[in-house]
Amino acid sequence: MTDQDTFTAYNAATGLPLPGNFAEATAADIDKAVRSAEVAFEWLRECRPQRRGEFLRAVAAKMRLREPEILARCELETGYLPERVRGEFMRATGQLELFAGLAEESVWDVRQFDSGNPDRKPFPQPEMRRRMIPVGPVAVFGACNFPLAISVVGNDFVAAIAVGCPVVVKSHPSHPGTCKLLGEVVDEVVAEMDFPEGTFTLLHGRRPETSVALVQHPGIAAVGFTGSPNGGRALAQACLQRERPIPLFAELGSTNPVFLAPGFLAPGILAPGAVENRLEAIASGFTTSLRFGNGHMCTKPGVVVMLDRQAKAFAEAVVDKMHAGMPMPMLSAGIADAFDQGVAKLADTTGVDELYGPRSARSDGAVPPDDQAASFGPWHRDARWFAVDAITAAEQNLLHCETFGPVSLLIRCTDEEQMLWVAKQFKGSLTATLHVDQEDAAFQARWLPIAERFAGRVIYNGWPTGMEIGSATHHGGPYPASLDGRSTSVGYASLDRFVRPVCYQGWPEKALSRV
Amino acid sequence: MTDQDTFTAYNAATGLPLPGNFAEATAADIDKAVRSAEVAFEWLRECRPQRRGEFLRAVAAKMRLREPEILARCELETGYLPERVRGEFMRATGQLELFAGLAEESVWDVRQFDSGNPDRKPFPQPEMRRRMIPVGPVAVFGACNFPLAISVVGNDFVAAIAVGCPVVVKSHPSHPGTCKLLGEVVDEVVAEMDFPEGTFTLLHGRRPETSVALVQHPGIAAVGFTGSPNGGRALAQACLQRERPIPLFAELGSTNPVFLAPGFLAPGILAPGAVENRLEAIASGFTTSLRFGNGHMCTKPGVVVMLDRQAKAFAEAVVDKMHAGMPMPMLSAGIADAFDQGVAKLADTTGVDELYGPRSARSDGAVPPDDQAASFGPWHRDARWFAVDAITAAEQNLLHCETFGPVSLLIRCTDEEQMLWVAKQFKGSLTATLHVDQEDAAFQARWLPIAERFAGRVIYNGWPTGMEIGSATHHGGPYPASLDGRSTSVGYASLDRFVRPVCYQGWPEKALSRV
């Protein structure tokens, strides 16, 4: 890395460079940021949690003062629709204020007390108290797809600051300008509230070695990461190879299968189930969920599993609704390329049919190049929808390959048994969804124990996109949903990533008053 | 690996082979064990937690029926004193019964509920419930030093079975005969209680590649490991390199520093503190803790930090008590060798003084070979105690090098500030201990925030050996105490390692009655 190494951001709608240069963080930048965070940690861990709550609220308030500027830059860098960006802005500010409240209540500090017994033989039993303390400076890598809510001031930031951990953020190279504005907001709050400078540092970078250097700095105590499985695994490797290994909390990839229950009441007796009872509503819900944010969602419904005999009517209803959408920009040239490759892999697989393709393909049903989409902008892509039978899907390993963007795969099953067999093939997913009516009760009872085995969130008659942030939220799951399915990157329990227990044995309670 | 590959166990007191041959597990053995565990998991996760509690109680009861046989073999393989083995037997059976109770109460299943709001705009808010489910088959590697309580039926076993995870144990090669007896006990309970065969499998092995093959079997969902930092890191690497990475919960190494507070009330005013007020009691407690189990404890007090001016009287009191002990067997030839090397490294470091050496060295103060100890048995070693100044200890990296066995290092400090400076040099330890009296209140207030930074358990006027197993127990800490300081291998919270959260979104509560 040289000190002069800079890069620019791009307008996702036009592919043209945007104003501003962003300097790749050097080893010296990283060292300065982390050393400064270590100093800040001494103060931040001891300051009243209420102060940290006030800090998070102040960040939200200052974001609102600069809202138009932030939204405008974010729209340019992402190509998202204004309402999508505005929605994420509200989620990010709401999350800051929610976690301010959690900080004020120190909800993560679940305490345990074991009473002692001075008369126990052969040794007296000491009193023991278990409390939670922050781990130290946290490195944060934001997601490409949530420049406001999983980024500089996003889920990892709010959790780390709330518990008392300073944060060093590496901006995502596809929206460094948005990150820069958010970083200025935080810097101003740090200065105005007289927090130590190292409470927060924003670094830029697009090289893998910059990320590795950050997580391998000895002062970093934990890492929050949202990105690809390959990227996450590489950083996990870097974390393990340190002199002192540290945990990487990584949310990686997911196909988020949606199962449409078949509606059998009992063998030999056929009753209409969810698909037949609510065809239009389910088709509409699916299309909205798939197209939301142009499919740039970790919870995009990438797979639908249903009976072959119900698939035709469902496909017709969905395709009808797909036509109301239009090509939208992908987040970057690289993501557009990856999307094209993922789509080509599906389209080229023997046995895979295209159900919905580029707009120019509507009338004749062929699979032409994406010319029509390209006329909107170089990174614009329309939604794509494919279908395949269950056996081919499993054999060709199509159930686990997440292609980021507006593409989904319908799995046609011969019967209920095959649907459950498909369910058993999934290894890890953020979510699993079941659409079900009264008539599907028997299927539901068999599906749930399978689905909870591979998913972190199991959804009943809903859609995986649009997550609630609460005490019961779990955004994680067996790999590749996350590296360790026990942790969540969203919700109250995300705080638990950045604290660890300490057992105080035999201490008089008043000696622990500061803890 | 060939099918014929076998090994034997050794009598620790004589170094001679013991009866019995143990076959190195083959790839086929591992595959059979894990596939069988996967089948058992389907049943075990769905069975009532009370059944799993009864199972653990039955294992304890059957252990008691075979107690004399188990104790006898364990004494031979470890060379531990009968009371040490008997004490561990009681800890192991007590732990089985304790976790039976925890299973019956499903204490790990801390549930969360977020109420919904059907009237929320623009989207209704679904109800969400978070519950904990078992992760799947767990591979367990027992510790060399706890053949009963951190082994076949030990801490990892009780935690995994309690939550509903089958277990595949690899016995420790230094006590495979003890493991075999315990394995027979569990096998009999499995058969008598009609549990699925794959609930439990015991494998033997002494080759690293056998351990790697076990953790890399696709059916294994998590690993419990107690051993050396190098061994733990190698297995963590193997877990990360799987197609589906899994967590390794590893308890590794620790020097467990003990600080003797200096007794200053305020600058310029000198008052006697803990060392002067309780010299004999502290010297006696230290000697007992160091010699306990011949120093084969992960919580052995490997470092004592105190004022130079108080060290002479303390050393005299300790050496006096050391003489009451005698050489005891190390657990294996390899551990005896490692002990000799660790001791030699200390003895050869410029600036390190020997305070207590082999019995033959008492009169002249020289550092002779361990002839006297060797006359007891080839692996017998007496305790060793060294002293060094704080600067040398830090510069020569003596604070973090755990040498397994009865050796400890006294760090002489010039003043209170240097003692706190030493405290800041520690990076990770299972425990940190402070001996303190009223006069030391100021020191205590400064020491605690430093100590909790590097330790998982902070002890007040006690000793690190002899851990309570309760809800507030934490046996883990920043590396090298464990790989991830958030997890504990002992105590109620050890259950949390083998469950993960699932969020049930929008489900009618009655649909979740089985969960």
Query: Is A83 a catalytic site residue?
Result: no
Residue type, A468: E
> What is the model's pLDDT at position B1?
45
Give B-chain residues touching A135 at CB under 8 angstroms: 485-486
Provide the pLDDT for residue A483: 93
Tell me whether A478 touches chain B (CB under 8 Å).
Answer: yes
Q: What is the pLDDT of residues B244-284, one digit of tens each?
A: 999 999 999 899 999 999 886 566 677 788 898 999 999 99
Four-CA torsion B138, B141, B143, B146, nearest 10 degrees: 60
Mean pLDDT (whole number) for B19-36: 97
CB nearest to A503's CB, from B113, B125, B457: B457
Look at residue A360 and tell me whether its pLDDT is greater than 60: no
Alpha helix ranges (H) inside B366-496: 371-374, 390-395, 416-425, 441-454
Residue pLDDT, tens place only, A144-188: 999 999 999 999 999 999 999 999 999 999 999 999 999 999 999
Give start-end residues of each CATH 3.40.605.10 domain in chain A: 27-252+482-512
Measure CA B436 to chain center: 26
On the question of pLDDT at B512 being above 70, the answer is: yes
Q: Is A434 on the interface with B (CB under 8 A)?
A: no
Peptide bond into A480 cis (omega under 30): yes
Nearest-CA neighbor of A160 among A187, A139, A146?
A: A139
pLDDT digits (tens, 9 = 90+) for B416-453: 999 999 999 999 999 999 999 987 888 999 999 999 99
Judged by CB atoms closer than 8 Å, whether chains meet at B458 and A501 is answered as no
The residue among A197, A162, A139 whose CA lies nearest residue A60 is: A162
Give the minimum alpha-carbon distance from B475 to chain A in angstroms, rounded to a whole number: 8
| pLDDT class of A272 with cuts at 50, 70, 90 | confident
- Taking CA atoms, A175 is separated from A12, A17, A227, B42, in Å, by 10, 12, 14, 46
Contact (Cβ atoms closer than 8 angstroms) between residue B415 and residue B421: no
Q: Give the integer Cα–Cα distance in Å for A488 and A251.
A: 8
pLDDT in tens, B197-243: 999 999 999 999 999 999 999 999 999 999 999 999 999 999 999 99
Measured distance CA(A102)–CA(A285) in Å, rounded: 33
In this structure, chain A runs to a length of: 515
Question: Which ranges in chain B are annotated with CATH 3.40.309.10?
Answer: 257-460
Topology of the domain comprising B257-460? Aldehyde Dehydrogenase; Chain A, domain 2 (3.40.309)
* Most A-contacting residue of B258, B503, B514 (CB-CB within 10 A), to test interface: B503
Q: Please give the model's pTM, rounded to 2 decimal places.
A: 0.95
pLDDT in tens, A3-14: 569 999 999 999
How much is the pLDDT for B360?
39
Q: What is the pLDDT of residue A371?
A: 54
Distance CA A44, CA A103 (A): 12
pLDDT band at B490 (very low <50, low <70, confident <90, very high): very high
In this complex, do B128 and A473 lie within 8 Å of one another by their Cβ atoms?
A: yes
Cross-chain residue pair A501–B479, CB shorter than 8 Å: no
Q: According to the model, what pLDDT value does residue A265 have? A: 57
Provide mean pLDDT across the span A306-314: 95
What is the nearest CA distance from A490 to chain B, expressed in angstroms?
Answer: 12
Query: Using one digit for the tens of pLDDT, what is the confidence trace for A111-132?
Result: 999 999 999 988 899 999 999 9
- Alpha carbon distance B515, B512 (integer Å): 5
Closest CA to B159 of B473, B448, B431, B485: B473
* Start-end of CATH 3.40.309.10 domains in chain A: 258-460
CA of A178 vs chain B CAs: smallest distance (Å): 27
Residue A69: is its pLDDT beyond 90? yes
Q: Determine the Cα–Cα distance for residues B137 and B44; give it in Å rounded to an integer.
A: 10
Helix axis angle for B67-78 and B49-65, nearest 10°, is 80
What whole-number distance in Å separates Cα of residue A448 and Cα of residue A166? 40
Place of tokens 């006297």: B372
B210 in Cβ contact with B461 (< 8 Å) = no
Going by their DSSP bridges, the two strands B499-505 and B112-114 should be labelled as unpaired
Residues in chain B: 515
Confirm if B381 and B405 have CB atoms less than 8 A apart: yes
**What tokens does B302 get?**
């490997």
B102 vs A: CB within 8 A: no
**What residue of B is the nearest CA neighbor of A473?**
B503
**AA identity, residue B398:** L
Asked if residue A1 has pLDDT above 50, the reply is: no
Angle between helices B155-163 and B49-65 (to 10 degrees): 150
pLDDT of residue B271: 76
Q: How far is B350 from chain A (nearest CA, A)?
A: 25
Query: Which superfamily does CATH assign the domain made up of B33-252+482-512 to?
Result: Aldehyde Dehydrogenase; Chain A, domain 1 (3.40.605.10)
Q: Which residues share a beta bridge with A249?
A: A224
Residue A401 confidence class, pLDDT cut points 50, 70, 90: confident
What is the architecture of the domain spanning A27-252+482-512?
Answer: 3-Layer(aba) Sandwich (3.40)
Mean pLDDT throughout B39-60? 97
Contact by Cβ (8 Å): A210, A24: yes
Section A65-82 average pLDDT: 97
Q: Which residues 62-81 in chain B show a CB within 8 A of chain A?
A: none
Spell out which residues of chain B touch residue A493, defining contact as CB-CB under 8 Å: 112, 130, 501
Please tell me the class of the A258-460 domain. Answer: alpha beta
